[in-house]
Structure 1
Amino acid sequence: MSFPLPKPQTPQLPQHLLRTIECQQGAVRAVRFNVDGQYVISCGGDKSLKLWSGSRGTLLKTYSGHGYEVLDADGSFDNSNICSCSSDKTVILWDVATGQVARKLRGHAAKVNCVQFNEEATVILSGSLDGTVRCWDTRSRKNEPIQVLDEARDSVSSLKVSKYELLTGLVPLPHSLLFGTQFGPITCVCFSQDGQCTLSSSLDSTVRLLDKSTGEMLGEYTGHKMKGYKLECCLSCKDTHVLSCSEDGHVYFWDLVEGCLSLKLPVGKAVVQSLSFHPTQPRLLTASEGRVQFWAAEPEDPDGDDNAITT
C-alpha cells in the first residue's frame, strides 16, 4: 500500500517585527549579518560601525576611525575581524575584540562603496567610485594593494565574492558614454546560494535573475520603487525568494520561480536602504533612516546565547 508524498512546506518568510533599534549613528547606510548570523554590523553616517547581538539586539561594541560616513562592512569567517569602507576613500581592517584599527588602507581616488573579505579572510576586496576594485592582503604589512582591477571604467557600486569568482555592479560616471548595462545603473549584485545565478537591482525599478554561465535572463521582478537611491537586493537563504528594498518604505518578496509578489513588508515611511538575510534561518535585517529592524518568521523573540564580547 502506497501513501501520497507529503506536500512540500511553504517557505516561511520573516514578516514579524521582533525589535527596532535606534542605532544613534545618524543614517544607517548598511546593515549586515555576520557569516553565521550571530552578530549584526551597522554602518553609520556618523563615521562609526556598531556590532550588535543577533539574538538580543544589544550593542556589543562601537568602532570609530573613519573620517566620513561608513558605507559598507563585512565580518571575517572566524568573527575575529571586520573590514569597512567609507566616503573618506579608505578601507579599514578592525580587530573585533579590542575595537582597534589593525590596518588603514589607502589607495582609492574616490569614496569606497563596497567591501568584502574572501572566504578565508586573507584578502579584502573594495570597489570604488574611482572605477576600480582593489585587493588587499590582510596578512601583509604593506599598504599597497596586491592587485588593481581597473577594467570597469564606471563607478563600482556593489561587489560579491564567491570562492574564486568576483561579481561587480556598475553605475556610470557622469562623463561616461556607457549607461552601466543595457538595464541601466546597477545598485546591488549578489550570487544565488547554489552559485548558478546572479541577482542584480537597477535604477529602472527592476530586479533581474541571470544565469551565471550564459547571461540568460531567468526572471524579472518589479513593483517596487527604485529610481534615485542606491538600494539593495538579495535572495533568501534557500533561494526560494527574491527580496528588494524600496523607496516607498517596504521590502518586496517575490517567489523566485513564479515571479509573483509573495509579500510586501511594511518597514516604515522612509526609504529602506539596506537589508541582509540570515545565512540559515528565515530572519531579516532592514535599515531605514537611523534604525535597524529585526524580522523573523515567528512573532516570539528567539532565545539564544551570544559569545561574549566586552564593550
Structure 2
Amino acid sequence: MEPIELTQNVIQSMDIGKVFKDSQRDINSISFSDDCSLLITSADDDSVNIYNVQRGTRDKLLYNKEYGVENVHFTHHNNAFLCSTKKGNEHLVKYWSSYDNRIIHNFRGHGDDITSIDMSPKNDMFISTSKDKLLLLWELRSRRALGRLDYKEASAGGMCTFDPSGAIFALVYPVVTQNVTKNYIKLIDANNYADGAFSTWEVECPEIKGIQFSEDGQYLLAYTVENMILLLDALDGQKKHIFKDFQNENGKVMACFSPDSKYITTGDEKNNSIVFFDVNTYEKVHELRGHPKTPTCLAWSREHALLTSGCQNLLFWVPDQSRIRQ
C-alpha cells in the first residue's frame, strides 16, 4: 500500500481489503505503530492481536486472562505496547513486550477503572485517566507517576489525549448539575504540567466520551454518548460544527480524524456502517457497510490509504483503484 491523497473520490471508492475474525468477543481498542507497519487490537476476550499491515496477516496472539485488556497503545518501539487492565482491583497500566510476551512493568497509581491512555508523539511520556477522577502523567523509565491532575468534581472518569506536537495534552470530563451536562476541556503544557491547565473550555452537550486533535493542529474533535460529534477550534474551543447524521444510541461509537484532517469518520448503529463527514463542507460524503455488528473502534494509518475498524471482526478498508473516478 502506497501513500495516496484522500480525495472524496478516493474515499468513495474504499472497500473491504481484508477481514479478520480472530476475536471471540468485541474489539475494544486499536492502535497503529509509529511507522504504521503494525496494528494492535485488544478485545473483551482478554486477547491482544498484532497484525502486519503490509502482508495483511496476524503476526501474534497474546492473552491476559487474569486482568483483561483495553486501551491498547503502541509505544515508540514496535515490540512494546501499553494497555490497561479491565478486571480485578489493581487498575494497572501494563508495559508489555510483545517480542517475548513479558510484562516489563506494571504502573500503579489509579484507584478505579482506567478510561484512557495516550502516548506522547515525541517522547516516552504517557498520560492516563480513570474513574478515580485523576489524570496521571508517566514516563516509561520511571516507576512512579511524574504528575497528577485531580478533577474530583467530575461526574465520570474523563478522557485524555496529546496534541500532534506533544507540547500539550487535553483532559475532558463531564459535570452534571440539575440534569444539565457541562463538559470541561482542560489544556495542559506537557513541560509545565505542575502549573495545571493553562486554558479551560466549557461545552454544554451530552457527556464527551473521547477527544482527538487533528494532525494539522487546527481542530479538536469531541464525540459524545449520543448522536453528536463536536468540531471545535483547537485554539479557543469555539464550536465550528456539530455532526448528528448518524446513530449512536448505545453511546459506544468512537470517531476520529483522517490523517490529512479533511474527514471525520465514525461508526453508525443504523446499518452497522462507517460514515464520513467532510470537515470543510460538514457534509456526509460516504458510508461503508460490511460489519455484522456496529464498529465501535476506528483507526487510520498515517502512512497508507488504510482505515481499520473493529466490532468483533477487524476490517481493513482500502481504495479500489478501478472505482476511482478520474
Which interval holds the TM-score relative to the shorter structure?
0.7 to 0.9
CA distance in 1, matches of 2:176, 2:65: 25
- In 2 relative to 1, CA 60–121 (structure 1 residues): closer, same or farther, beyond 3 Å? farther
CA distance in 2, matches of 1:187, 1:237: 21
CA distance in 1, matches of 2:82, 2:236: 32
Partner of 2:290: 267
1:217-232 pair list within 5 angstroms? 217-232=239-254
CA distance in 1, matches of 2:7, 2:253: 31
- In 2 relative to 1, CA 84–219 (structure 1 residues): closer, same or farther, beyond 3 Å? same
Q: State the Cα distance separating 1:38 from its structure 2 match.
A: 0.8
Among 256, 265, 274, the alignment partner of 1:234 is: 256
Partner of 2:116: 114
State the AA in 1 paired with 2:308. L
Among 195, 200, 209, the alignment partner of 2:231 is: 209
Equivalenced residues, count: 290
CA distance in 1, matches of 2:92, 2:178: 24
**Larger displacement relative to structure 2 (167-176 or 155-164):** 167-176
- In 2 relative to 1, CA 293–200 (structure 1 residues): closer, same or farther, beyond 3 Å? same
CA distance in 1, matches of 2:208, 2:7: 34
Structure 1 spans left out of the alignment, 5+ residues: 1-7, 301-311
- In 2 relative to 1, CA 177–242 (structure 1 residues): closer, same or farther, beyond 3 Å? closer
1:30-41 pair list within 5 angstroms? 30-41=29-40
For the aligned residue pairs, the C-alpha RMSD in angstroms reads 2.5
TM-score relative to the length of structure 2: 0.81
**Larger displacement relative to structure 2 (56-65 or 260-269):** 56-65
4+ runs of 1 displaced by more than 4 Å?
A: 8-11, 171-179
1:1-311 pair list within 5 angstroms? 10=8, 12-13=10-11, 15-65=14-64, 67-88=66-87, 89-140=91-142, 142=143, 144-151=144-151, 153-154=153-154, 155-162=156-163, 163-171=166-174, 178-180=181-183, 181-248=203-270, 249-288=272-311, 290-298=312-320
CA distance in 1, matches of 2:246, 2:292: 14
Q: State the Cα distance separating 1:298 from its structure 2 match.
A: 2.3
CA distance in 1, matches of 2:7, 2:293: 34
Deviations 1:199-236 (A, max 9, x none): 11112311111111111111222211123223211111
Q: State the Cα distance separating 1:55 from its structure 2 match.
A: 2.3
- In 2 relative to 1, CA 64–239 (structure 1 residues): closer, same or farther, beyond 3 Å? same
Q: State the Cα distance separating 1:171 from its structure 2 match.
A: 4.8
Deviations 1:91-144 (A, max 9, x none): 10112322211011122111112112212442221111222111222112x3x3
State the AA in 1 paired with 2:235. S
Q: Contact between 2:8 and 2:285, CA under 8 Å: does it hold in 1? A: no
Alignment partner of 2:66: what SS?
Answer: coil
CA distance in 1, matches of 2:25, 2:135: 28
State the AA in 2 paired with 1:258. T
**Larger displacement relative to structure 2 (291-300 or 181-190):** 291-300
Q: State the Cα distance separating 1:258 from its structure 2 match.
A: 0.5
State the AA in 1 paired with 2:147. Q
Identical residues among aligned pairs (%): 17
Q: State the Cα distance separating 1:10 from its structure 2 match.
A: 4.4
Structure 2 spans left out of the alignment, 5+ residues: 1-5, 184-202
Q: State the Cα distance separating 1:299 from its structure 2 match.
A: 6.5
CA distance in 1, matches of 2:176, 2:68: 21
Greater relative contact order (CA < 8 Å, ≥ 6 in sequence): 1
CA distance in 2, matches of 1:173, 1:125: 25
